[in-house]
Amino acid sequence: MEEFVVDMNEVIEDGIKEAVRETQLIYRINNTMPLTEENSALIKELMEDRIGTGTRFTPPFNLVASQNLRIGNNVYIGGNFLGMCRGGITIEDNVMVAANVSVLSNNHDLYNRNLLLCKPVTIKEGAWIGANATILPGVTIGRYAVVGAASVVTHDVADYEVVVGSPARPIKTLDGERFPPSKE
């Protein structure tokens, strides 16, 4: 994964218009009755073709640069989700994300806060992210891995690995034979 830089001083007018559209749509989604046709239509308007079937957001949630978010099929995302998507976030099929999770694919430069340092985040098939966890830029969470509640993930998590703490550290590896085979 390659880091890239976005200079917020150079955000063009179209970028500002898209941010306003996104913010207003998310507000509408968060203030519309969940699990209704109206709510689903607003989520589809926001995500377009970047969201799979059977996927559900529990409001409220907040996204920035949602055009860089891709979500697979049968994903559950709990309430108060924060996705900072400038660097790209991919959530594969059958992932469970508990409440109050933050996934960050960008961070500000320490010396020039108008520069965003961006690295993609990938959460692979079947992973489970516990409540109040934070996943930092450039991290990949492996297939069927588990991130414990309140963990701060600063490095990649291997397939079937269970990590906990701040910073998150592995505590065990699950039996990969007990999960469905990979589609790859």
Give the active site residues: 108
Please, are residues 129 and 104 in contact by the beta-carbon 8 Å criterion? no
In 3-state terms, what secondary structure has residue 109? coil
18-53: string of b/e by CB count within 10 Å (b at 16+)? eeeebeebbeebbeeeeeeeebeebbeebbeeebbe
* C-beta atoms surrounding 5 within 10 Å: 11
**134 exposed, middle or buried (CB, 10 Å; 0-12, 13-18, 19+)?**
buried
Structure tokens at 22: 């996104």
One-character DSSP codes across 142-164: PTT-EE-TT-EE-S-B-TTEEEE
Whole-angstrom distance, CA of residue 133 vs CA of residue 1: 22
